[in-house]
Structure 1
Amino acid sequence: MIATPCTGVCSTAVGDDVCFGCGRSFAEVSNWLALDDAQRAAIQAQLSRRKVWLQMAMQTGGRLQSIRPAPRQATLVLTPSLLVTLGWPQQRQGRGYVPLLTHDGRSYLLPVYRDDWLHLFWDCLFDADCTPLN
């Protein structure tokens, strides 16, 4: 049996859709004991990349509203009317990127390895100069 990845900081207990402690969705936390080892292993394999999303949420002052495991996307809520779709964090030539789809349908590849990624994130949201997703 695969052990729970719980870190004891469960924010789903206070209403978050995605736990800031372990990176699992409310449904995954709630159903953990009912899942088989293959399902648990699949979730465990995604947690390190989900934590990139969680760090983005914390640094932007937003929260993750949902995780869609099949397309490997998450919804980042910045305000009730400002939602951003985060794609699966990836490495290119040893550097980390997160694809994002803005509220108005523009796609970008955010270089999260850069110290100024947060500034670039806001630039992408508000139509400043940003590198399009290829």
Structure 2
Amino acid sequence: MIATPCIGVCSTAVGDEVCFGCGRSFAEVSDWLALDDGQRAAVQAQLSRRKVWLQMAMQTGGRLLTIQPAERQATLALTPSLLVTLGWPQQRQGRGYVPFLTHDGRRYLLPVHRDDWLRLFWDCLFDADCAPQN
């Protein structure tokens, strides 16, 4: 039997490109049994960071449209016309950050470890007082 990260809450079955349950893309869910052990291990290794993106999607009311595993980025749709590119979640000195690129090309490093990260995210999107990524 091949191990799967599925937790029985598959949102790809209802049309989501990225499953809110396990964090795999529709293609990864569909092809899971055809992937070799190395490919499955590579997907498994990314899931904890992808779940940060899923939490961001849930908190913002958006949804993940795509995940580009090789580029380690995802597209977050806040509305059909407002798209944000999320970079690979990272830790710096034990604190979590997510780089993101706004719809108009500005780059930020969002401190998701802070309780007010959601307000900061919206501020950055709509040109409020937000410092660009260094």
Q: What range is the shorter-chain TM-score in?
A: over 0.9
Mapping 1:50-129, distance limit 5 Å: 50-129=50-129
Query: Higher mean Cα deviation, 25-34 or 1-10?
Result: 1-10
Corresponding position: 1:9 with 2:9? yes
Deviations 1:10-38 (A, max 9, x none): 00000000000000000000000000000
Once the 2 structures are TM-superposed, how far is the Cα of residue 131 of structure 1 from its aligned partner? 2.4
Identity of aligned residues (%): 88
Corresponding position: 1:46 with 2:46? yes
**SS at structure 2 position matched to 1:48:** helix
Cα distance in 1 between the residues matched to 2:34 and 2:5: 15
Cα distance in 1 between the residues matched to 2:129 and 2:64: 25
**SS at structure 2 position matched to 1:16:** coil
Cα distance in 2 between the residues matched to 1:84 and 1:129: 18
State the 4+ residue runs in structure 1 displaced beyond 2 angstroms: none
Cα distance in 1 between the residues matched to 2:68 and 2:127: 26
**SS at structure 1 position matched to 2:119:** helix
- The count of corresponding residues between Structure 1 and Structure 2 is 134
The two structures have a TM-score, normalised by structure 1, of 0.98
* Paired residues of 1:2 and 1:40 also in contact (CA < 8 A): no
* Paired residues of 1:97 and 1:109 also in contact (CA < 8 A): yes
Q: RMSD value over aligned CA atoms?
A: 0.8
* Paired residues of 1:49 and 1:88 also in contact (CA < 8 A): yes
The two structures have a TM-score, normalised by structure 2, of 0.98
Once the 2 structures are TM-superposed, how far is the Cα of residue 132 of structure 1 from its aligned partner? 1.3
Once the 2 structures are TM-superposed, how far is the Cα of residue 91 of structure 1 from its aligned partner? 0.2
Cα distance in 2 between the residues matched to 1:111 and 1:32: 33
Once the 2 structures are TM-superposed, how far is the Cα of residue 2 of structure 1 from its aligned partner? 4.9
**SS at structure 2 position matched to 1:84:** strand
Cα distance in 2 between the residues matched to 1:37 and 1:130: 43
- Name stretches of at least 5 consecutive residues in structure 2 with no aligned partner: none
